[in-house]
Structures are given as structure tokens and as C-alpha cells.
Structure 1
Amino acid sequence: MTTPLYELSALQLLERYRDRALSPVEVTQAVLARIERWEPHIHATYGLDAEAALASARASEARWTQGKPQGDLDGVPVTLKENIATRGTPTPIGSAATVLAPAAADAPAAARLREAGAVIVTKTTMPDFGFLGAAPSSFHALTRNPWDLGHNTGGSSSGAGAAAAAGYGPLHLGTDIGGSVRIPASFCGVFGLKPSQGRIPVDPPAAARVIGPMTRTVADAALLMQVVTRPDARDYMSLPPNDFAWQRLERNVKGLRIGLWTETMGGWPIDAEVKEAVLAAARLFEQAGAIVEPLADWTTLDMRMGMAHFFTMRCRVDLAAMPPERAKLAAGYIHQAAEFAASLTPEDTFRAFTRMQALRAATVAATQPFDYVLSPVSPVLPFAADAINSGSENLLKDSHFTSVFNQSEQPAASINCGHAKNGLPIGLQIAGRRFDDLGVLQMARFYESVRPAQARWPEPA
């Protein structure tokens, strides 16, 4: 059976471009046709410009014909989360409250992609201000999970997760401040990497916020990292340029010490199917010679409330900066967060910051003895498409396993480790020590190579 062009990996596309077996134009046309089939169902895109994408593909085709490809991704289709600026396209940040104005310049990641010859096909959706680990937005139509349209994609890189699962080309970029790459990667059954803080230049830079790849294969994510980690002076918080051999993914796990984090200090349960899938994945590491040891939850409610207080205050500040007639257009969950923040004193806000620092210190201390840590990405399966969380009494539950690694600045990935009885995907999180982004990719590639056969990708009805 011939693989459809929209399903080919970036590495496969580049090989076929080199052999003149494929043209970037026909691949871009196939991706656009795929988007046309899926979009009425999942609503993952924003700012799609088919003519601009085809013009970029034709320019790439001409370069390949001349034997002069422009860069590492020449002719490869890519999507970007809409808060990653692309010149000339407004960035609503998921909210109807945002005044739409064309972006004056490409953000660093977008600039690197253009320099590498990638074909930017479309932007992808997100919830208001990236505040949710779920899809609902006051600006975008509700993004739905391709595996089951009645269920959520997760967030805040909602459209990127759905686009990767639906086959909108091989490469997608999301952003992550508390799980926003990993949760939608988990819910949509794709691979997602939250790199070390500063590994990919961001403009404007912000504490805990990173950009990360979302792909169907680990190797494609590594290829994307090879491009978007290149330096950009606009990010004054970025790490020094690296010389990682990003494609050197094969690694023996024998003798590695791996922590297994599946219990919570609060005692609330992880979904049984999620836990069993993670334990089964851990057994594969153990069978290959890794030393897998239980890792107790090191977090406290006080630490986590620090994050909650800090980010709700951000909502209040963002709304206060807008004219009232604009602010009222933001989603209800933003207003609820801002109203809660109104009850906090300046001292409360300062203490929130110090509690976040305590969480960072505790995360580094707890995980430092291990080469890598395995855990669930989400403690729950994908919930209803229009819900803003899993509905638990513990509102911090959904990002329990992900947000800690944003605070500690450590790399962490989500890779599919199975499907529940209802067919919905389950994500395994693999975290490493700070700066060991390549090691996390290598562990993900190991697991990818030994995991059971994967379910076929979803198709539109």
C-alpha cells in the first residue's frame, strides 16, 4: 500500500526531493487537500493561506531542480501555533479580546524555518492567552480531537496536536508553559518535546515558556530541533548555541537509572488505564537493562498553589491592560481567574513567586539522582471537547506531572504509550536533567523502537 504524501515523514520527504522522486508542490497540494477534508470536523487551523504555501513550495521546487536546496527543511510543510509570530499575520493569542494587527516580523522560530526553506502551510489554534490545558477559545472555533470528535485535544497547543494527528504534514511547533506541548501530544497520540528553557529562542522570552516540536516520529522532532535551536539575539534568555548531533538518536538504555513517578502526594487517583500504560512502558525499559525505581511525589499543595496564584494574577494584569470593551470579549475562564486574583494581596503574589522557586528547587533535587524520569503526561484520558478541564475537584490535577518541569527548566517529552478501551491515546512523559534535550530524544526513540504496534491514524468520516 502506497503511503499518502501527507503521511510521509520530513526525513522521507527530503530523501525523495533529493532523488527527484517527489516535488514540494505535489506534497504541499496533498497536505492542503488533507486539511480541506479534516477542517470541517476538527478546526485546527488559523490564517491558512494556500496560495502563499504553494508559492513557497514552487520556489523550493525550483531550488531542488537546480540542485541547490536552501536549507535543512527545504520544501517540507510545517505549521506553527498562532502565538509564534509570522510576518503579516495577526496573533490573536486565542482570544476575541485581542486587537488584530499584522505581525511586523517573524518570531525567531518562524525566521529559522523560512531560512531552512520550510513551507509554512498554516498557523494552528489555541485557547485564550494559552491559559488552558484544553481547547476552548473565545476567538477560534472549538478544536476537536481527530481520534474522537467528542473529546478534547488538550492545550494550549490544541491545533498543533490535532494537526499532527490528522496528517497536516510532518512538522508542527507548539509552545509550553505548563504542559501545553505535552498534554495535546498525549491527547492526540503524537510526539511532543518541551526543551530545556532557552534551548529554542523565543521573542519575547518569558520564564517557563518554551517552544517545542510536535511530530509523528521522534526523528522528525530531532530534525526540527536542528533548525529552530539556532541562535537569535532577540532572546536574551536563550542558551548558548549547541553542537548537538540531533540525529544521533540510537542509545542503549542498559544501566541507566530511571525514576518512575506514578503516585501523587494528594492521594487522588490516576486513571487506571493511564497508569497501566505507563507501567507497561516502564517494564520495557527495565527489560532492556535499565534500573527502574519508584519516585515519590516531591511536590506540595503549597508549591502548586503558588503557580495557580501567579498565573491567575497574569490574567488579571492582561485584562486590566485592555480597554473594558475589549476585555469583556475574553473567555469566561479568563475572567474567573482574574476575579480570583483580585482577592490576592501584593504579599500573596510575591509569596506565589517564592513558592514557585521552591517547586523548582524540589523538582531538581528529587530528579537529580536519576538519568531520566518516567511518568504519565496527563493523569486523565481526554475529556469532553467543550470542557476546560477534567472536571476534578483538584483544578491543578491536569497539569500535575507536566508543569513541574517548566519550573525546573528541564526537558520533557510526551510519546504515545497506548490507547484506552475507548480508543483515546495515552502519553508517557520522559523527563531528563536540564540541558539533556538530546538524551530525552534518545530515550523517546528507544521507547518508540520497542513499544507495541501503534493504532492506525484517524481518518475523517
Structure 2
Amino acid sequence: MNLADLTAVDLLAKYRDGSVSPVEVIEDVLARVEQFEPRISALYALDPAGARAAAHESERRWRDGTAGALDGVPVTVKENIATRGTPVPQGTAATELIPAVEDAPAAARLREAGAVIFSKTTMPEYGMLSSGVSTFHHLTRNPWDVTKTAGGSSAGAAAAAAAGYGPIHLGTDIGGSIRLPAGWCGLVGIKPTHGRVAVGNPYPGRAIGPLTRTAADAALALSVISGYDPRDYTSLPAASDRYEITIAGLRVALLLDAGIGLPVDPEVAAAVSSTASQLEKAGALVERIAPIITREMLDGLDRFWRIRSATDIAALPEERRAKVLPQIREWVSTAGDLSGFDVFHGYSQMGAMAAAVGRVFTTYDVILSPVAPITAFPAELAYPTDDPSKPFEHIAFTVPYNMSQHPATTVNAGWSSSGLPIGAQLAVPHHQDLTALALAAHLENHQREWPTS
């Protein structure tokens, strides 16, 4: 197997026994990037020279016995997670390109652990799209089928993971931005408990987590990047839960109908139902549940986010405002029609979503659902609806856990008739992040070769 395809767990074992060097690995990763990148456009600020230098330093630490927890493992970091010296364009040409003065907490922890951060990854306009459409980056595409989106907003992270640009890729998630691309690219992607990973610029629902090919790699990455940081007042101590789970007796809520948004594709429903059957065969108690959130909740969130984005865009100088993606400008154009009551009511629906999820967890240990109601849509579309007035019809399965702050992870559940990955989502109670990944590890059965060209 090409070294670029090895898991982080396997790489560390080989570094430890001296059979493989970080220098060899980064060369295979850079060769893979050269092979794929013209077609999928997953990377931003690729730094081959810096990567090679970091790999040589890692090789020295392994010889000296001073290697860290991720020493020599190639990783990427989504471009909105600051790394010192690199501008943070937020996926839009409207941003002034000013180099970041320091690493964000998660990036700093990767460096401290010896990881080789060889590139940033792309994101769509302001991170407000579940696609790779951006006025700053080239269009990011899905390695499984380059006519399809990789998802978003962690578009480049998902595409890089599926293409084999090394094993660990950090993304961010405020409504599904890790889980949606992970699901559409056949990956494990976890949105941790809110605060488990310090963000640095906290905001309700915003989280940082890894996208990987295996649950074990996601658990390893999460163990490194989690923990308190004074720059994020919402941050929590490092995760202390164990990477294990007992399936027998597990109370699983099966949610196949979100109740709102796009209808669930029959192939998606079948794949997630098959995952439920796997759990039942292992002794879990699976019960189908009614929709958790309502139209009022999702529309309220839309109104609040629209006002937030309109405020940010209105603050830009006119020449930069004109560079914002037209679909985003169209979406915020109606913000002025909203009253103070509309905005306050919209904000209150974030709490209503959280309460609705919390009630489910008084009865169940896990909520199993699709990640998205559909498989990956055409890459050129900003939204699966192709309608800026209906931008959130695909996030009804994912966004409730951002608002409720519960951890939720993805696992590949099967394949569409056209060969596209179908993701299942596993949400669990607060602080059980690694338990969710242990459950994903029990279920992961990839069955197909990763994209090779």
C-alpha cells in the first residue's frame, strides 16, 4: 500500500519500530497531492518545503526518543482554523488577506504533538454552504465522482481525506460542516461536544473536529486537540471518556424522517436502516422515533443566521462587498425585512432545538439517522436546492446537535446505485465523544477501495 494511505495509528507503529520514516511518508503524500489536486482542488497554502523540513525534524525526534503523540503524521487544517503566517480568507474574495499572527488552539496542539501540517484546506463562501463553491478557492470536488460536491463547509478536508492526502484532516462544524462532507465522502467525521476542542473564536454551535478514514484515527486526533484554552471561554478539559462501547442493551433511537427539509432518498433510508439492523443483531434495542425538530425551529435559525451574515457583509467596504458570492448576497438581501421580534424569535429557536434533542436523550443512548437526506449533489451548485431562499433544507438531521452541543459522528453506511457513499450519523449524550467513535468503529465496514485517480 502507498504510504499516503496508511492510517495514523499504523504510521505511528511503523515510526516506532523504524520501518518507515516521516520523510518517506511526506514524499508519498505530496506525490498523491500532485496526482489528485488539479481535479479536486482540496488544498490552500500548500507548503511542500515546510512539510519536508518538518518531516526531517520529526525523523530526528524519533531517533532521539522525543517524539510526540502525532509525530510525523501528515495533517491538514481547514483554512478558517488559523495557522501562524497564513491569511484566513474564509472562502471569499471579499476578505482582506492578512497573515494570522498565531496558531489557533487546535493547530497549536497539532504542532506540539509533532504533526506535519503540510497544507490548509478549502472552504466555501464564509463557510455558509454545504458545497465547495467559493469566490476565493477553486471549486472543490468529490474524489469519488468529480462531478459531485465533496460537501461543505469542510469541503477540502473531506476531499483530501478521501483522496489519501495523509490520515488526519481538521474541519469545523456549525450546522453539519464536518458531518455532511464526511458522509458524502465515505469518512468518519465527528462534531465533538461543544467546547471539547477550543475554537479560539467561539460562537453558538461552532465546533472543531477531525475527518478521517477510520474511527481510531478520529479518536487519536481528538485526544490530541481537545482540552481547555484561555482563548475560548467555552472550552472544556480534555476528554476523559473511554474508547469502548457495549452494544448489547444499547437504546437506539432510529430517526429516518427529519420531518422537514428535503425528502430522504430511499437509498439513504435503506442504508441507515441496514445500520440499525447491524446494531439490533449485536443486541441493541432499536426503536423508530418521530421527527425531533420543527419547521419553526429551522426557519427561526435561518432568520437569525441571515441577520448575522447580513451584518457582517454590510460592514465591508463597498468594493469588497461586491466580491461576495451572489447566492450569499441574495440570501441576506431579505434581512432588512425582518423585525426585532423575528430575530429574537429566531435566536430562541436555537434553544428550542437543544431542548428537543435533550428530551430524546432522557430515553435513548444513541440517535441514529442519515447524515443528509440525499447523496452528494452536483459540484457546481452552492446549495442542493439551487435556491438561495432555501439554503438549509438538507441540514435538518445535523444542525440540532450543534444547537444542543451534543457530540455526533458519521460512519459510512453503504453506497448508492451510482457508487456514491451514504453516511449514517450517530449522536450521543454530552461528553461521550469517544463512545460515539467506538460505536462508529464497531460499524465501519468500508467494503470498497478508496479513489485512486
TM-score w.r.t. the length of structure 1 is 0.96
Structure 2 letter corresponding to 1:434? H
Structure 2 letter corresponding to 1:78? V
Aligned to 1:415: 411
Shift of 1:340: 1.8
Aligned to 1:221: 218
Taking the aligned partners of 2:239 and 2:12, their CA distance within structure 1 comes to 23
Select the residue among 132, 135, 160 that pairs with 2:132.
135
Aligned to 1:207: 204
Select the residue among 374, 382, 392 that pairs with 1:396.
392
Shift of 1:230: 2.9
Taking the aligned partners of 2:415 and 2:90, their CA distance within structure 1 comes to 31
Aligned to 1:431: 427
Helix, strand or coil at the partner of 2:334: helix
Shift of 1:376: 0.1
Taking the aligned partners of 1:120 and 1:194, their CA distance within structure 2 comes to 21
Matches within 5 A, 1:83-98: 83-98=80-95
Matches within 5 A, 1:368-379: 368-379=362-373
Shift of 1:395: 4.2
Alignment of 1:41 with 2:39, yes or no, is yes
Task: Mark the CA change 1:161 to 1:18 in structure 2 (over 3 Å): closer, same or farther.
Answer: same
Q: Render the CA deviation track for 1:236-283: whole Å, top value 9, x for unaligned.
A: 1112334334xx33x320001100000232486310100000000100
Taking the aligned partners of 1:292 and 1:243, their CA distance within structure 2 comes to 27
Helix, strand or coil at the partner of 2:333: helix
Task: Mark the CA change 1:360 to 1:230 in structure 2 (over 3 Å): closer, same or farther.
Answer: closer
The CA RMSD measured in Å over matched residues stands at 1.3
Taking the aligned partners of 2:305 and 2:261, their CA distance within structure 1 comes to 25
Select the residue among 7, 10, 31 that pairs with 1:9.
7
Shift of 1:313: 1.1
Q: Render the CA deviation track for 1:92-119: whole Å, top value 9, x for unaligned.
A: 0100000001000000000000000000
Q: Render the CA deviation track for 1:127-154: whole Å, top value 9, x for unaligned.
A: 1110011110110000000000100111
Aligned to 1:177: 174
Give the aligned length. 451
Task: Mark the CA change 1:332 to 1:374 in structure 2 (over 3 Å): closer, same or farther.
Answer: same
Identity %: 48
Aligned to 1:457: 450
Alignment of 1:196 with 2:193, yes or no, is yes
Taking the aligned partners of 1:436 and 1:177, their CA distance within structure 2 comes to 19
Aligned to 2:313: 319
Taking the aligned partners of 1:135 and 1:274, their CA distance within structure 2 comes to 22
Taking the aligned partners of 2:339 and 2:238, their CA distance within structure 1 comes to 41
Shift of 1:231: 2.4
Aligned to 1:166: 163
Farther off after superposition, 332-341 or 106-115: 332-341
Matches within 5 A, 1:301-340: 301-340=295-334
Shift of 1:76: 0.4
Helix, strand or coil at the partner of 2:199: coil
Task: Mark the CA change 1:323 to 1:267 in structure 2 (over 3 Å): closer, same or farther.
Answer: closer
Aligned to 1:106: 103
Structure 2 letter corresponding to 1:377? V
Q: Render the CA deviation track for 1:159-197: whole Å, top value 9, x for unaligned.
A: 000000000000000000000000000111111000010
Aligned to 1:117: 114
Check whether the contact 2:227–2:237 (CA below 8 A) recurs between aligned residues.
no
Check whether the contact 2:227–2:236 (CA below 8 A) recurs between aligned residues.
no
Q: Render the CA deviation track for 1:46-96: whole Å, top value 9, x for unaligned.
A: 000100111111100111122221x10011000000000000000001000
Helix, strand or coil at the partner of 1:204: coil
Taking the aligned partners of 2:377 and 2:362, their CA distance within structure 1 comes to 33
Check whether the contact 2:261–2:396 (CA below 8 A) recurs between aligned residues.
no
Check whether the contact 2:123–2:156 (CA below 8 A) recurs between aligned residues.
yes
Alignment of 1:344 with 2:327, yes or no, is no
Task: Mark the CA change 1:267 to 1:390 in structure 2 (over 3 Å): closer, same or farther.
Answer: closer
Which sections of structure 1, spanning at least 5 residues, go unmatched? Answer: none
Taking the aligned partners of 1:318 and 1:38, their CA distance within structure 2 comes to 35
Check whether the contact 1:144–1:385 (CA below 8 A) recurs between aligned residues.
yes
Taking the aligned partners of 1:324 and 1:435, their CA distance within structure 2 comes to 44
Taking the aligned partners of 1:126 and 1:119, their CA distance within structure 2 comes to 21
Select the residue among 149, 154, 164 that pairs with 2:151.
154
Select the residue among 270, 276, 279 that pairs with 2:270.
276
Taking the aligned partners of 1:382 and 1:237, their CA distance within structure 2 comes to 33
Taking the aligned partners of 1:198 and 1:117, their CA distance within structure 2 comes to 23
Taking the aligned partners of 1:166 and 1:426, their CA distance within structure 2 comes to 17
Structure 1 letter corresponding to 2:50? A
Aligned to 1:30: 28
Taking the aligned partners of 1:402 and 1:124, their CA distance within structure 2 comes to 22
Helix, strand or coil at the partner of 2:108: helix
Aligned to 2:374: 380
Helix, strand or coil at the partner of 2:170: strand
Helix, strand or coil at the partner of 2:424: strand
Shift of 1:337: 1.9
Aligned to 1:68: 66
Helix, strand or coil at the partner of 2:438: helix
Helix, strand or coil at the partner of 1:244: coil
Taking the aligned partners of 1:435 and 1:168, their CA distance within structure 2 comes to 30
Taking the aligned partners of 1:273 and 1:265, their CA distance within structure 2 comes to 18
TM-score w.r.t. the length of structure 2 is 0.97
Taking the aligned partners of 2:135 and 2:77, their CA distance within structure 1 comes to 19
